[in-house]
Structure 1
């Protein structure tokens, strides 16, 4: 049997527990440690999956080869930098960090140290993404909706970094071209950060994506619509079903017989299991991660562009706010 990769999870919260579970089950890994500043929580997860509990990631540097980082986003950079400097391979939950500059620093550092740096954009490891990418080539227009009811978890960041970034990364992967322009609107509803947002992303290839995310909706929905030459797909990511149409002839002469209706069921797979398995395989084989530091940095860069556009829009709105009972233009504020 090949030598197992010694692993640890830093952050024993909601996602951290799932990472620990997958390491404990994967034959290529041995879960050695679970780290959490909350000693009781870390111990509980560690005991559940047969590992040892610690309160500081520095305590496990000489015991592990690879680490999943599942701490709050503002802590990603410091934890990842220290682990990579120590020569550890890192799987870091999305977003890679809280700023593009920090993302670029740890990406370069991982290259210098020869460490695998993989970013946990889980949708790219899903069966849904695989099926969509196999069935749509050179998309011309994309629409995505990712909406959910309010939860306290994840509110340390805005809805762009919390939810929308999943679709940003997935769409960048499907389009395969640099982003040229972003126009966005958004606002806070339940928090002081944006809780709902819509962005129009234009790519250098000519493709355009309209992306909506909300964490203040009354229902949960994850949907992607993709339009390409002679092809249309409507993908319900929550129900794992894809409906679509393909043009296989000339509808002007053949009528409806030229249009083929498609129905594709997305296989039931554990996306995080795929993600962890891919990370371990990259460590063993030296392969480049499917979502590496550069991909994570690009998704974060586009997210930052969206936030900048939202800020500009809000300033414009505030410029038309009522002042002393009368509406004023931005020039008068």
Structure 2
């Protein structure tokens, strides 16, 4: 496969990671690093051994693809320019700031026969990858994603920053239409929500309960998935998964709990997850998720197949995230509709003057 002539646009935290991995990838020929900040672009260009340019339009005739890691507010404008110039695009999440903008990009990519991939990198996490194909007829999902405050991505709240990862994963697993969203959020560090909790109800009856925080003293990235035939615990941080499968005797209701002898009770208590609820620890190969994302992008362009996370998938995750934000804005913290609402849990000003 010929290396894909590529530029990385944006040299923030994720942009630098993309640039470093792209420079090391055999399927990518990193042509240029693009950023309006001269010091930043030259530093990353020196680290990766490629050219530094201030404007992506300078390299449009030299590249086949671009990785866009600018702040979200610039995604629509930059990606639209690139797609309009015949360039395949991998854009970081969220795809855009609005669904309308996302719809425009998805249609433009389709019209021009180009790949548009969205950087929902957890889809390439080995912990999810090793069990995703076995998760069918999902009934309930519980996800938690928490971190400390990084002082990055302050232009968006925790729903677009963190929760949208789990929204995308849930949509890819449940494969049903969201029919109801209930949510609340709390702003801590600024005007945007830093803690959020959402419940998604799907047309097929499935429920997803998602919690996200970026002001947590302890990190967490996990998801528990319940189906009629088992339970799966995905550890995104540890990049592993655990499955628990009831035996056929339990699934067919032939196990008579009330007829067990004292000795049998003692035995099954000690061997529950070996003989009745059979537990299996999955230890997948520890691949780098962003590197796998790059490989998928390049292979899809060269072979013509779909990327794993399409522009449409990114658009759908954004649409549900917008519903979560709408539900947060409508949430009342007091009995009175004139009381506190939205992410502002505490009053903005003192209730009375001190002294």
| 1:236 alignment counterpart | 235
| 2:328 alignment counterpart | 310
The answer to whether residue 101 in structure 2 is matched with residue 73 in structure 1 is: no
Q: CA deviation digits over 1:148-202, x for unaligned, max 9?
A: 1111111111100000001000111111112111100002111100110000001
| 2:279 alignment counterpart | 261
Cα deviation, residue 240, structure 1: 2.8
Q: In structure 1, the residue corresponding to 2:11 is in which secondary structure? A: coil
| 1:162 alignment counterpart | 161
| 1:134 alignment counterpart | 133
Q: CA deviation digits over 1:240-296, x for unaligned, max 9?
A: 333332111334238643321222224311000000000001110111111111100
Structure 1 residues without counterparts, runs of 5 or longer: 327-333
Query: In the aligned structure 2, how far is the partner of 1:242 from the partner of 1:53?
Result: 41
Query: In the aligned structure 2, how far is the partner of 1:214 from the partner of 1:4?
Result: 39
| 2:260 alignment counterpart | none
Query: In the aligned structure 2, how far is the partner of 1:240 from the partner of 1:114?
Result: 34
| 1:330 alignment counterpart | none
Matches within 5 A, 1:269-284: 269-284=287-302
Query: In the aligned structure 2, how far is the partner of 1:198 from the partner of 1:234?
Result: 19
CA separation of 1:316 and 1:260: change in aligned 2, threshold 3 A: same
Q: In structure 2, the residue corresponding to 1:319 is in which secondary structure? A: coil
Residues 118 and 279 in structure 1, CA contact (< 8 A), matched pair in contact too: yes
The answer to whether residue 127 in structure 2 is matched with residue 124 in structure 1 is: no
Instruction: Say which is worse superposed, 306-315 or 39-48, in terms of deviation.
Output: 306-315
Q: In structure 2, the residue corresponding to 1:189 is in which secondary structure? A: coil
The normalised TM-score by structure 1 is 0.92
The normalised TM-score by structure 2 is 0.87
Structure 1 or 2, whichever has the larger Rg, is: 2
Q: In structure 1, the residue corresponding to 2:245 is in which secondary structure? A: strand
| 2:263 alignment counterpart | none
Query: In the aligned structure 2, how far is the partner of 1:176 from the partner of 1:316?
Result: 36
Query: In the aligned structure 1, how far is the partner of 2:328 from the partner of 2:234?
Result: 27
CA separation of 1:53 and 1:253: change in aligned 2, threshold 3 A: same
Structure 2 residues without counterparts, runs of 5 or longer: 258-267, 341-346
Instruction: Say which is worse superposed, 300-309 or 179-188, in terms of deviation.
Output: 179-188
| 1:301 alignment counterpart | 319
Residues 249 and 259 in structure 1, CA contact (< 8 A), matched pair in contact too: no
Cα deviation, residue 316, structure 1: 6.3
Cα deviation, residue 58, structure 1: 1.1
| 1:108 alignment counterpart | 107
Matches within 5 A, 1:109-258: 109-251=108-250, 252-253=255-256, 256=272, 257-258=275-276
Instruction: Say which is worse superposed, 177-186 or 240-249, in terms of deviation.
Output: 240-249
